[in-house]
Structure 1
Amino acid sequence: MPPHVPPEDFFAFSSYHMALAVVGAIVILAHWLPRLVSDREPASAPLMILFGAGAALLVPNLPTLPDPREAPRIWELVSELTVIIALFGTGMRIDALRPWRRWTPTFRMLGIAMPLTILAVAMLGIGLEGLTVAGAILLGAVLAPTDPVLAADVQAGPPQEGVEHPVRFTLTTEAGLNDGLAFPFVYLGLLAAAGGLTAGDLLLDWLLLDVVYRIAVGAAMGWAGARVLGYVLFSVPKGAILAETGSGVVALAGVLLCYGSTELVEGYGFIAVAVMGLTLRRVEQDHHFHRRLHDFSESIEHALTAVLLVGLGTVLPLLLTDLNWIHVLFALLLILVVRPLSGWIGLLGSPMPYRDRAAVSVYGVRGIGSIYYLCYAGSHMEFTNESQLWTLVGLVILLSTILHGFSVGWAMERIKDD
């Protein structure tokens, strides 16, 4: 029997239950309202952030996630798990790796556009925002990678759907790999904050360890993890393989095992799980389990993303307390000038048609990965400009999801028949 509730407390509202109801209502409305005005896939991400901010301002005593500037750990853990699952799913989406020349735009975006973006953001951070060198490098690393979680509308579809459009292939593979490749620059910012950069720091601690070793180990662990998991799922025991009867949770457990073991040997786990998705997709390539696994992981990814975006919205009024016109100028320059220009430079000489190059250059949404990197840095070291960094990152995520989210359907329609 439930305990007796006094009449005066019968309609006393629990703030926790109020929070659950508000989150549920926001997620439903964010996905449903856009369908009233368009038959395209709804741009739910910016609406979840905006509705979360509105709820924090309008609903009295609404519990929210802690301020990430004061308690970054919970934000770091949830965003890390979300990115892990998203990166694995991103790798699973790629049906065919060959011909190898289709990777050329991806490598150009990773090797040219991404470093240019980091450099430009760092220079803007110093020139416009007055950041320290360490804070500027960190800001560049945090905002450089595109987001595999929020960029589903511009990425390749689920496994076994057929040949991917070059734009979708490039944006999918870029988002799958650049989260891990941003990590060396985060470490560079931490090195700078710890006491300046010397030639020895750059050569030994950063170039050999943070760049060469960690990237190589991440890629190798992802490949090996996929081979072992593929063996478990598709080969042994004969006649009763897990892929026929098992739940996707077994494969997801393998992803977590791969990520955790890679981090234990000081490799980049984000690179490992992306490579794992790409490699596992080649094992028994036509098996129906790949689609089931992708759909299972995508459902978890969407649920975690919704919680994070609504949570970000609820703390956004705190993060934007010190907002000024310089912050707005910085965010718009990044989204409208730095990313498109860096992408266009990176793709110079590419055989991609003009319209395709423009789409790849423009659609680099920022989001969950940026939250993770900034929380990771904040939990390892105190930065002089940490509050300023959070204001900039929160604003960039908001504007990026709005501008990209509400225009991507139109843009993809323009390139799909090329």
Structure 2
Amino acid sequence: MTIDGDGLYLVAGLALLLGAVLPRLLRRYAVSAPIAFLGAGLLLGLAVDRARLSPIAEPELTEHLAELTVIVALMGVGLAIDRPIGLLRWSVTWRLLFIAMPAGVAALTGVGWWLGLAPATALLIAAVLAPTDPVLASDVQVGGPTTGESAEVDEEDEVRFALTSEAGLNDGLAFPLVYLAVFVATKTHSAWEWLGWYVVGKTVIGVAVGLGAGWLLGKMAFSAPAKSFRLADSREPVLALAMTLGVYGLTEVLHGYGFIAVFIAALALRAAERSHEFHSELHNFIGELEHILTWGILLLLGVAITGGLLEPLTLAGAVIGVLLVLVVRPVIAWLSLARTELDRSERWMTAAFGVRGVTSIYYLAAVGVHFATDLPWLWATVGFTVVLSVVVHGVAATPLMRTLDGRRR
């Protein structure tokens, strides 16, 4: 039996109701809401037309839905971070971004090559799986902005801060590595062009637009000369969505990295007036929207798996996913964090919780057309890795973070 168009409204309503109830029901147990939604998607796949909901059949829909989910999540994590950006304050983040991520991509590319993949395909799967996810990692991230009189007190533990700030930036910083895989496959750009434009130029545009837009919106929100023009006084949290879409769209029009710009803009807006309650209202609105989009992504992923997304998975693809989640990320991140202020257990927890998810889905949907021959295998490998990450990290997050919080208390 399949559900018709009108029946899908019923399914969507039930899914949203489930999404509102599940986080409360599962709060005491070692089962995250993403696991439950993925399971619901597997069941839903038995009742809908699975062929129409496959990411291979609908790459543009998959790309844009994942893209919207990621930029909304990036705005949310940017608004949630209390700590001002700086070389020393963010030293753990810089190590994860500029040591652990490229080293992990190199290691996973080597594994893929050793398993018999073409160089470009090995590099692509490693680059697509490189970014940690700001969407599915909410259980191990900072809870939200601290406002009011306690806004100047740094209460963020290093593990949550490191994982949140890393996820906020590496979504955009993985772009050059994905482009490099495409260029290796298509042989369309020189190494110097890739380095000058795709590594430096587009990154600089993203940072500049993010800083400029965040500064301007901060002035408009908190210190406009006329009180009637101060956005914070309007108490309209939908402005967070307007800011997200506007900053991302402007950066993409200017050919910069929109993911970087959205996160930087959120940090700049946060820095404009840290103690204002409007930050909490913006963050709460964005959080609700992010939850809805996340439920949709996970339901569709479950439907696609029921429809055979994982059928092309080979031993090589399974090995890549298992090694990434259980070995490559934890070991390389742990080594990159040597001689930091993290103690041994905090270091291991930061290294272990490199959640993979929606960002990987976006990247593959965006560039998969250049790898048509290997596309079913690529989707199977990414799908397997995301599911493995959701299950492993979802089960481990609650008890381990409770242990961390107990130690801090």
SS of 1:101's equivalent?
coil
Deviates more, 1:21-30 or 1:347-356: 21-30
1:222 paired residue number? 210
**1:207 maps to 2:199:** no
**Matching residue of 1:182:** 174
Match of 1:150 among 125, 133, 136: 136
The equivalent of 1:350 in structure 2 is: 340
Listed as ranges, the matches of 1:272-351 within 5 Å are: 272-317=261-306, 318-351=308-341
Given the alignment of the two structures, is residue 107 of structure 1 paired with residue 94 of structure 2, yes or no?
yes
Judged with a 3 Å threshold, the aligned counterparts in structure 2 of structure 1 residues 406 and 17 are, in CA distance, closer, same or farther, namely farther
The 8 Å contact of residues 207 and 261 in structure 2, kept in 1 or not, is answered as: yes
Aligned-partner Cα distance in 1 for 2:272–2:112: 45
Residues 1:140 and 2:126 aligned together: yes
Report the 3-state secondary structure (helix = DSSP H, G, I; strand = E; otherwise coil) of the residue aligned with 2:145. Answer: coil
1-side partners of 2:26 and 2:80: how far apart?
Answer: 29
Q: Distance in 1 between matches of 2:89 and 2:344?
A: 16
The answer to which of 240-249 and 84-93 deviates more is 240-249
RMSD: 2.2
- How many angstroms apart in 1 are the aligned matches of 2:76 and 2:51? 29
| 2:217 partner amino acid | L
Taking structure 2 as the reference length, what is the TM-score of the superposition? 0.91
Map of 2:11 onto structure 1: 22
Give me the whole-angstrom Cα distance separating, in 2, the residues matched to 1:248 and 1:31: 20
CA displacement 1:50-98 (0-9 Å, x = unmatched): 22122213x2x44675321232101101111111111111111111226
Per the alignment, residue 256 of structure 2 pairs with 267
Task: Tell me what 1:4 maps to.
Answer: none
- How many angstroms does 1:101 deviate by? 2.3
Residue in 2 aligned with 1:88? 75
Q: Separation in 2 of the partners of 1:251 and 1:29?
A: 25
Are the aligned partners of 2:235 and 2:278 in contact in 1 as well (CA < 8 Å)?
no
1:72 to 55, 59, 74: 59
- Checking the alignment, whether the CA contact within 8 Å between 2:30 and 2:395 is kept in structure 1 is no
Q: 1:8 corresponds to which residue?
A: none
Q: 1:216 to 1:49 in 2, by over 3 A?
A: same
CA distance in 1, matches of 2:118, 2:132: 24
Partner residue of 2:162? 170
Q: CA offsets per residue over residues 378-402 of structure 1, 9 Å max, x none?
A: 24x2443111110000000001000
Which residue does the alignment assign to 1:245?
234
The residue aligned with 1:6 is: none
SS of residue paired to 1:406: helix
Q: Does 1:362 align with 2:358?
A: no
Cα contact 1:102–1:166 (8 A) shared by 2: no
Q: Is the 8 A contact 1:26 1:52 kept in 2?
A: no
Deviation at 1:16, TM superposition (A): 2.0
Q: Distance in 2 between matches of 1:232 and 1:64?
A: 47
Matches within 5 A, 1:404-415: 404-415=393-404
Q: Which runs of 5+ in 1 are unaligned?
A: 1-11
Letter matched to residue 396 of structure 1: T
| Count of aligned residue pairs for this structure pair | 399
Within 2, Cα distance between the matches of 1:94 and 1:211? 26
Q: So what's the TM-score if we normalise by structure 1?
A: 0.89
Secondary structure, counterpart of 1:319 in structure 2: coil
In the alignment, the residues of structure 2 paired with residue 392 and residue 82 of structure 1 have an alpha-carbon distance, to the nearest angstrom, of 21
Structure 2 stretches lacking a partner, 5+ long: 148-152
Deviations 1:256-282 (A, max 9, x none): 111111111111110000101111101
Q: Which residue of 1 aligns with 2:219?
A: 231
| Bigger radius of gyration | 1
1:414 CA drift (Å)? 1.9
Sequence identity of aligned pairs in percent?
39
**Per-residue CA distance 1:162-214 (angstroms, 9 max, x = gap):** 510011110000000000000000110110111277xxx111x2111001111
